Amino acid sequence: MMDSKLRENKLQALEANKEALMQRVEEQAGEYLSWLIEFASIPSISATGEGVRECAEHLASRIASIGLKPELLETGAHPIVWAAAGESERKLLVYGHYDVVPPGDDAQWKFPPFEPTVFEGSLWGRGVGDSKGQMIAHLCALAAWIDVFGELPPFQINFMFDGEDEIGCGDTSDYIRANVDRFRADFLYTSDASTLGVWDPALFLGIRGALYVELNAKGADNEWHSGSYGSILPNPVTQMAQAIATLVDKDGRVAIDGFFDGMEPITTELRDLAAKLPAGFLPPAETFGVREFERDAPIDSMFFEPRMCVCGIEGGYTGQGLKMAVPTSATAKIDFALLKGQRPSHVATLLRAHLDAHGFEDIEITVLSDAPPSGVTGDHPLVSTAVAALESVWGRPPVVIPSIGGGGVFATFVDAVGLDCLLVPYAQPDMQEHSAQEHLSLEWFTNGIKTSAEVFRRLAIAALERFEAGSAHAC
């Protein structure tokens, strides 16, 4: 048990050194930027495996440089980089991912994608925002903390950096389920994505669930001229188009029987948050190159209605010139965004039943990814901590956004570990992740580091104040 006088001295130090902590981040901003540039120079493309292990080893080395003992947790695919700062019953799990999506066509980039370059107040390159910059901000914050206080925070911070976020986290999720005790904590805190249309600090209360499926329709074994035998053979592309058309009504809403069953009512709190979003959050439809939005109430559709998206469809000949032939197959990839109360596995069952009932028994369904929804309420202790930290750093209150699409590993943390998860993006709204325009504002990067440092400071105060009480939510 910590001596009461020592605890009081530590509390006084936490209050007295708040500005010193922020000043240390400012002093080290150039050094922290060099960490990010070096980190983002390593490809780490999880889809192909290029550079992933090298990047994990580099990250482990960086973690070791601030005095922690990193581990590479082997998942059977790309490793998790793990490190524990301190040892306590009160724990915060900080999640991030070091893998990136492929860069695409190098010719579309302002600068080579893996040669991060400072330009017009931002760092440009693949992964600088999604999510190496946002991820390393937490390590930079801990480094600044150690410089100022000379010791680790009075609660345990477990850093978990994932190597397969961009490919669905399948092996990572399996590893978590097989090693639940390692990942137990009071909360999970992560920084990823951008603030969407908000140029103020922001956070997301929830992450919508996701079911991602592939549909396959088969035709004849070989192509036949559409004017001969092809004219009497089933056309899988037509079949696929007809099947997809049955999944939605004339207004584009999901038309699968039972799809909305079990969905929890939208709370007044969430609707109030949506109503308070700044005017610029949703620009005019013309901004996106379309005449109008699909719904008359796009904000409601965005946050409060499950939806289906046909992400891609292919089949038959679409090359240059003519080819009159009936295709042999067609494939479509579809994702369903789900709200609380909806379970991906149940939706997949309903989808199968729907296709069968409409005469499409031959269309095969493969589930590529599934994740139930997750989220916290606005009065959650970690939310209030993050809100206060963001306002302290930015000088203005953050925008609290009801949810963002995603899924992935967060659902595993919720289901398998029982963790509450909070997503606080450190990237500006035009970060343009996954594109050749990906860039991270240097101001947002520095403020992200400050935000993590202030979150740590506030959690440290809470841990010390509740030290004797042993509160389950001491963090």
DSSP line for 4-30: HHHHHHHHHHHHHTHHHHHHHHHHTHH
* Run of H or E residues at 443: helix 442-465
Residues 17 and 148: beta-carbon distance below 8 Å: yes
* Run of H or E residues at 190: strand 187-190
Q: What is the pLDDT of residue 1?
A: 56
Q: What is the pLDDT of residue 351?
A: 98
Instruction: Tell me the C-alpha distance between 454 and 141, whole Å.
Output: 9
What are the boundaries of each domain within the chain?
4-194+425-465, 211-269+296-371
Beta pairing, strands 202-218 & 329-338: antiparallel
Give which of 53, 34, 35, 33 is closest to 43, Cα–Cα: 53
- What is the CATH code of the structural domain delimited by 4-194+425-465? 3.40.630.10
Cα-based distances in Å from 251 to 12, 222, 245, 313 = 60, 37, 12, 21
What one-character-per-residue DSSP string does 237-299 give?
Answer: HHHHHHHHHTTB-TTS-B--TTTTTTPPPPPHHHHHHHHTS-GGGS--GGGGTSSS-SSSSHH
Instruction: Tell me the C-alpha distance between 140 and 36, whole Å.
Output: 10
Give which of 171, 123, 131 is closest to 44, Cα–Cα: 131
**442-465 vs 4-16: helix crossing angle, rounded to 10:** 160
Four-way CATH pick for 211-269+296-371: 3.30.70.360, 3.40.50.1000, 3.90.730.10, 3.40.640.10: 3.30.70.360
Residues 331 and 218: beta-carbon distance below 8 Å: no
Residues 342 and 373: beta-carbon distance below 8 Å: yes
The domains spanning 4-194+425-465 and 211-269+296-371 adopt the same CATH topology: no
Instruction: Tell me the C-alpha distance between 387 and 201, whole Å.
Output: 9
What letter represents residue 393's amino acid?
A: V
Cα-based distances in Å from 380 to 109, 151, 384, 413, 426 = 41, 28, 6, 17, 20
Instruction: Tell me the C-alpha distance between 387 and 378, whole Å.
Output: 10
In this structure, what token pair is assigned to residue 286? 């013309």
> Is the pTM value of this prediction over 0.95?
no
Q: What is the pLDDT of residue 168?
A: 83
Instruction: Tell me the C-alpha distance between 155 and 14, whole Å.
Output: 13
C-alpha 297: how far from its chain's center? Answer: 25
Residues 472 and 420: beta-carbon distance below 8 Å: no
Q: Please list the pLDDT of the chain residue by residue as tens digits (475 residues).
A: 567 888 899 999 999 999 999 999 999 999 999 999 999 999 999 999 999 999 999 999 999 999 999 999 999 999 999 999 999 999 999 999 999 999 999 999 999 999 999 999 999 999 999 999 999 999 999 999 999 999 999 999 999 999 999 988 889 999 999 999 999 999 999 999 999 889 999 999 999 999 999 999 999 999 999 989 888 999 999 999 999 999 999 988 999 999 999 999 999 999 999 999 998 888 889 988 999 998 888 999 999 999 999 999 999 999 999 999 999 999 999 999 999 999 999 999 999 999 999 999 999 999 988 888 888 999 999 999 999 999 999 999 999 999 998 767 888 998 899 999 999 999 999 999 999 999 999 999 999 999 999 999 999 999 998 754 443 343 4
